[in-house]
Amino acid sequence: MAEMWISMGPQHPMTHGLWTLKVKIDGETVVDTEPDLGYIHRGVEKICEARDFTQITPYADRLCYASANTWSHAYIYAAEDLLEVEVPERAEYIRMVAVELQRIASHLMWLGAYCPDVGNLTGMVWCLREREMMMDLLQELGGSRMHYNFPRIGGVKRDLPIGFALRCRAKLKLFLDRIQEYEAILDESTIFLVRTQGVGYAKAEEMINHGVSGPNVRAAGHNYDVRWAHPYSIYDELDWEPSVERPSIKGSDCYDRYRVRVEEMRQSALMVLDGLDKMPGGADTHYQSGDPAILGKAPARAAEGQTGFHHFEDSRGESMFYLAGGGDERGKHPYRVSIRSPMFITIPYASKCMIGYKIADIPAIMGSFDPCIGETDR
């Protein structure tokens, strides 16, 4: 059979988002790939130039909808850098709880989509069941299940609800046990191992040259976690370790990337439990919204020439926000919001990882890089 191009996307059940992947195949083998991004470009950066700094937070939520809290917090840290705001410590702990819960939920969503990619429908439903637990916790914290608009410049929207610590601890302890069940159906399943080991090798040096970060690069043995290397917030006070795999000579395969994320889920759960124990003021006290214990004072305007920058460990890699002040409304709007999305950098690299493998490996490889097109296309 001659070589032919097939187009996967923009709407395709496997592609984890709306983008086109054109694949050139020779029989069952992939010979070349060409990704085509931009299908859901919404112009977020331009929209943000016409919004107040407080109003941008919900837009940052919607960048990557599966991982909303990580993106809105990434923006908030950059805005606090721009406006030079002091954040009370309790607010930092609450933010950490929100971000890590969101990270668990995002990884569960990834795993819940990865299981049917390799053919297991049960894993999908189980992961989404756990994600429901996390989303319930995030619903209590933030007010809705997916887009919370939780952080404010200088603190958080409101304190931990009453009884939240109890429910959070109970759910996370159950979750830590449930992870072992997922491992039973995934790690201890020959077919899964045969599908994901030896498939989709990616070398650490190539990834670093390309700019890939996050779990993908940690799976290749390179210990770079922004929370560990350049600690922001209170991550240096918590008891945790980044999850790094030790890959083979050929590089990291899909199985390594899967392992890194499972271990990251565990680490995030332990981080939240630790944070609830260490929270200043106790996890069971409840301050009213706007209390100085959870919300510091923040100016509303940034003059021209002021800039703010922050890099943040998103569920999928290193995300960066750059804000330049001095926009419309006498400085209430930013002049420029620049968003660096880790997936925009990773997807072209991941597409090249697929060459040489079979068509059936495309969902396994692409899924293992955890693409989220919302943040890619912005």
Partner 1 sequence: MAYHKHATPNFRNLIVRPMWITLKAALRTFPIIGRSKFLQSHGTSKPYHGQEANLLSDAEREMYTAQAHPVIGQKYAPDRETTELFPHFERPVTVMYPYERLEEMEPWLFVPGNYNGRIGVIWETCTACKACVRICPNDCLHMETETRVNVLDMTEEGDENHGFGVELEVGGMAARRLEGSEEAAANFQLSTAHEAPPEEYEFGEVINLTGDTISVRWNASGTVEDVAAGEVVGAEVDIVSGRIDLGRCMFCGLCMESCPFNSFFMTNEYDGMSGFTREDLWFEADRTRVLPVQHAEAVDIELAKRADQARKKAEKAAAKAAKSEA
Partner 2 sequence: MILLATEDVLTIRDWVGIATDFVSENTIGMSRHWEYTDSVSNFLTEFIMCVMVFGGIMTTLLILLWMERKLLGRFMDRRGARTSLRSLWVGENGVTAGEWWNQLPFGTGVPVGMLNQFLNEVAGNDHELEAVSRVKNRSYHGVWWMLPGFFQNLADGMKFLTKEHMVPEKADRYVFEIAPFLIIATTVMCFTFIPLSPNFYSNNSEMSILFLMAIFSVAPLGVFFAGWSSNNKYTLLGGIRSAAQLTAYEIPLLVTVLSVVVLSGSFNLIEVIEFQADSGVWNIFLLPLGGVLFLVAMVAEVERIPFDMPEAEAELVEGWWTEYGGMRWGLMFASEYLRTYAACLLFAHFFLGGWEAPFEDTIPYIHYVPHILWVFLKAWFMFVFFVWFRAALHRVRTDQILEFGWRWLLPLSLVNLAMATALRLWVYDGINGEWPLLIPILITSISLALFILLSVDEDPEALEAQTRPFSVQTVDVASPGQHRE
Which residues are near partner 2 by CB under 8 A?
Answer: 4, 6, 8, 12-14, 28, 115-122, 125-126, 129, 185, 189, 191-192, 194-195, 208, 221-224, 228-229, 241-244, 246, 259, 263, 266, 358-363
Nearer to partner 2, 194 or 300 (CB): 194
Nearer to partner 1, 181 or 304 (CB): 181
The answer to whether 160 touches 94, Cβ cutoff 8 Å, is yes
Nearer to partner 2, 165 or 372 (CB): 372
Q: SS3 of 29, please?
A: strand
Binding-site partner at residue 323 among partner 2, partner 1, none, CB < 5 to 8 Å by type: none
Query: Which residue's entry shows tokens 């997936």?
Result: 343
Residue 99 CA to residue 261 CA, distance in Å, equals 15
Residue 350 CA to residue 311 CA, distance in Å, equals 22
User: Which of 15, 5, 10, 63 is closest to 369 using CA atoms?
Assistant: 15
User: From start to end of the chain, where are the E strands?
Assistant: 4-8, 20-26, 29-36, 151-152, 155-156, 307-314, 317-324, 336-340
Residue 235 CA to residue 355 CA, distance in Å, equals 38
Binding-site partner at residue 18 among partner 1, partner 2, none, CB < 5 to 8 Å by type: none
Binding-site partner at residue 285 among partner 1, partner 2, none, CB < 5 to 8 Å by type: none
Q: Is 194 exposed, middle or buried (0-12, 13-18, 19+ CB in 10 A)?
A: exposed
Binding-site partner at residue 166 among partner 1, partner 2, none, CB < 5 to 8 Å by type: partner 1
The answer to whether 38 touches 18, Cβ cutoff 8 Å, is no
Binding-site partner at residue 222 among partner 2, partner 1, none, CB < 5 to 8 Å by type: partner 2
Q: How far is the CB of 159 from partner 1 (least distance, A)?
A: 10
Binding-site partner at residue 116 among partner 1, partner 2, none, CB < 5 to 8 Å by type: partner 2
Binding site for partner 1 (CB under 8 A): 51-52, 54-59, 62, 122, 126, 129, 132-133, 136, 139-140, 142-144, 147-149, 157-158, 161-163, 166-167, 169-171, 173-174, 176-181, 183-185, 187-191, 193-194, 197, 245-248, 253, 255-256, 259, 266, 270, 273, 289
Q: How far is the CB of 252 from partner 1 (least distance, A)?
A: 9
Nearer to partner 1, 36 or 183 (CB): 183
Nearer to partner 1, 144 or 223 (CB): 144
Nearer to partner 1, 136 or 206 (CB): 136
Residue 350 CA to residue 252 CA, distance in Å, equals 12
Nearer to partner 2, 86 or 183 (CB): 183
Element (H, E) at 302: none
Task: Show Cβ contacts of residue 21 under 8 Å, excluding neighbours closer than 6 positions.
Answer: 7, 8, 9, 15, 33, 34, 35, 36, 351, 362, 366
